[in-house]
Amino acid sequence: MKEGMGAQARKRGPRGRLRVIVPAFPAFNIYSRVARATTALGPVTVATAAAEVEGWDVEVIDENNYQRSGPVTDKGLPDHAALQRMRPADVVGLYGGLTSTIPRLYDLARFYRGLSVPTIAGGQHFVGENIADALRNGVDIVVRGEGEETIKELLRVFDGRLERRDVAGIAFLEDGRVILTPERMPIADFDPFPLPDFSLVRYARMRIFPVGRVRGCGMDCEFCTVKGKPRYARVERLVEQFTSLYETRGAKHFFIVDDLFAQNRQETLRFCSLLREYQDRTGARFKITVQIRLDKGKDTELLRSMRGAGIYNLAIGFESPIAEELKAMNKRLKPEDMIALARQYHQAGFFIHGMFIFGYPAAEGIEFSMPAAERIRRYRKFIREARLDSVQVLLPAPLPGTELTQRLKEQNRIFPEELVGWEYYDGNFPLFVPDPPMTPEEMQASSHRIMGRFYRFKHMFHIGFRLLWFPVLVFYLPNLKRGWEKWYRGWANELTKFGGWVIMKKWFAAFKKDPFSRKLAEAQRSLSPSFHGPLET
């Protein structure tokens, strides 16, 4: 497609079709198993808004959850040539919310551009110089910021009812130059928009439904892409997402995608009360996962209310058990306080998924040096004392637009993207020169050693042992409910730990076939030899 052709596109028939695509993870991604049970909320929300435009049909293809008789290639990926023969798309939208999927996104953009289908891309990856990069790689229009209003206006552009220069919050090429239209204001009122319509997601098997109420986060973590003052939808709108999905799709498992659940305490208590009342009235039993701050563990009333609403699983960003690293991340808790708070969550009956960032670079001006072996020891000790039910130990990723990325760029520490590509930006690979005395190889191996101690094959035998002892532990205890809860928690933990071992084994098998080690060696050589520490080894 020639430059600018996207704005001239027209529907091929009386109705046009927009296909929104969530690109596949790289083959070696550890999140594939979970992704096969859910989808990303953002693309569904944008697709639902687009479906309101007269004359347009909309569908979502999530390449990570693509299972129900959809056409596939010999590599097991969705066959987009076949999809075009079956149901030709007139416009394609591409979700760039995860940097590790960008190479696949560009492949898809070039494929559809080769068919003269206009391509739109949006998501958190597309900031700064990445906008021009996208426009050079098959993308006709980049959406900057939220997409619900923008996509509706762009469909009118493709209908010939609007000029693309009149659409706020987009970027495109014109005469070889990148044109940025004025920024679009963030959405302040969510009520005019329809609830996300998951029936638009084709070929997917949905078991866990993402829902949300809050956009933005006021915590200002250096490494995070989610910024800005939180904006809230009404509590009733969030409750309606639950009730609608339960009544129309039989949904029982939910993930609230808000980056920090319970940012507004009173509204959170009201939400939990309304959701509990609905479940008591209908007999529904929801199982809900949320992301929450550790310090909310002090609020016993909030914890009781959350449990009553069906919230059982908590994803908590502990980030690090090392005080110097916490300071660099703008975290204000001490490691010993974090352990005490984790135990309070446990006492309230929650499962805790602990999220960590191993090897976070110390803040400027702080003299800090710790061998990898000592870091590993501290992590293992912390995880054991906090009694976490599952853990995720990833490496720092200098994601586009973050303060961490800017700091590491200024220090000439980030490996060149042409050598260590975007596909490695998922937290499983070293992407920059770490603080001395660690090397990048040590940093990666250390995170694997921590998780390898937690997720082990032996837990398969523990699962069988707990099944054999189920009658004794439950029916011969004076409190049947408490006995069941105690048994179930232990059994679920063993199952999780064995499942984690299986995932890690598959990841290592894929890693052995991947050329990352060679690319890493080249990337280290490419940086200035005058840089401290690891490059001198």
pLDDT band for position 295 (cuts 50, 70, 90): very high
- Does residue 331 come out as left (phi exceeding 0), alpha (psi in the -120 to 50 range) or beta? beta
Residues 166 and 281 in one domain: no
Question: Which of residues 302 and 230 earns the better pLDDT score?
Answer: 302
For residue 93, pLDDT over 50 is answered with yes
* Lookup result for tokens 């960003």: 317
- What are the distances in angstroms from CA 46 to CA 149, 172, 228? 8, 20, 20
Question: Do 172 and 65 lie in a common domain?
Answer: yes
* Residue 493, pLDDT score: 75
Whether residues 232 and 377 share a domain: the answer is yes
Please give the C-alpha separations between residue 437 and each of 375, 433, 448, in angstroms, as whole numbers: 12, 10, 18
Answer yes or no: is 30 within a domain. Answer: yes
pLDDT at 483 (0 to 100):
62
pLDDT of residue 469: 58
Q: pLDDT tens digit string along 37-84?
A: 999 999 999 999 999 999 999 999 999 999 978 999 999 999 999 999
Does residue 414 share a domain with residue 323?
Answer: yes
Q: What is the DSSP letter of 68?
A: S
- Mean pLDDT, the chain, integer: 90
| Higher-scoring residue by pLDDT: 493, 40 | 40
Angle at 517 between CA 111 and CA 33, to 5 degrees: 60
Last residue within a domain, chosen from 435, 455, 475: 455
Residue 487's pLDDT is 60
Say whether both 243 and 166 belong to one domain.
no
- Rounded to an integer, the average pLDDT of 127-131 is 96
pLDDT tens, 227-241?
888 899 999 999 999
Do 227 and 149 lie in one domain? The reply is no
Q: What is the C-alpha separation between 214 and 195, in angstroms, rounded?
A: 14
Residue 409 contacts residue 507 (beta carbons within 8 Å):
no
Measured between alpha carbons, how far is 56 from 51 in angstroms, rounded to an integer?
6
Asked whether the predicted pLDDT for residue 318 surpasses 50, the reply is yes
Cα 23 to Cα 221: distance, rounded to the nearest angstrom: 27
- For residue 402, give its domain range: 205-455
Query: Same structural domain for residues 412 and 361?
Result: yes
Q: Please report, as a single letter, which amino acid is at residue 5.
A: M
> How far are the Cα atoms of 187, 192, 260, 327 from residue 229, in angstroms, in the given order?
12, 21, 12, 22
Look at the chain and report how many structural domains it folds into.
2
User: In the prediction, which pLDDT does 329 show?
Assistant: 79
Name the helix (H) or strand (E) containing 498: helix 480-513
Q: pLDDT tens for residues 382-439?
A: 999 999 999 999 999 999 999 999 999 999 999 999 999 999 999 999 999 999 999 9
Domain boundary pick from 455, 474, 503? 455
Last residue in a domain, options 119, 146, 180: 180
Report phi then psi at 523, rounded to 5.
Answer: -65, -40
What pLDDT digit, counting tens, does each position of 441-466 carry?
A: 999 999 999 998 888 766 565 566 55
| Sign of the torsion angle spanned by Cα atoms 409, 415, 416, 417 | negative
Tell me, what's the pLDDT at 326?
87
Residue 430 lies in a domain: yes
Local structure of 55: helix, strand or coil: coil
Tell me the CATH number at 160. Answer: 3.40.50.280
Residues 77, 139 share a domain: yes
Q: Where would I find the beta strands (DSSP E) of 186-310?
A: 201-202, 208-211, 214-215, 231-232, 253-261, 287-292
Q: DSSP class of residue 284?
A: -
Q: What is the pLDDT of residue 260?
A: 84
Tell me, yes or no, whether 46 lies in a domain.
yes
Confirm if 17 and 87 have CB atoms less than 8 A apart: yes
523-526 long-range contacts, Cβ below 8 Å, gap at least 24? Answer: 523/415, 523/416, 523/419, 523/420, 524/415, 524/433, 524/440, 526/415, 526/416, 526/419
User: Residue 287 in contact with residue 313, Cβ under 8 Å?
Assistant: yes
> Span 371-379, mean pLDDT?
94
Greater confidence (470 vs 130) lies with 130
Q: Are residues 451 and 368 in the same domain?
A: yes
**Residue 419: helix, strand or coil by DSSP?**
coil
Average pLDDT of the residues in 378-383: 96
> Which pTM was predicted?
0.91
Residue 351 — pLDDT band, cuts 50, 70, 90? very high
Q: How confident is the model over 159-189, as pLDDT tens digits?
A: 999 999 999 999 999 999 999 999 999 999 9
Residue 6 has pLDDT above 50, yes or no: no
Q: What pLDDT shows up at residue 502?
A: 82
Asked if residue 300 and residue 226 are part of one domain, the reply reads: yes
346 membership: H or E segment, kind and range: helix 335-347
Q: Are residues 50 and 86 in the same domain?
A: yes
Query: What are the backbone dihedrals phi and psi of residue 430, each rounded to the nearest 5 degrees, phi first?
Result: -70, 130
Structural domain contains residue 468: no
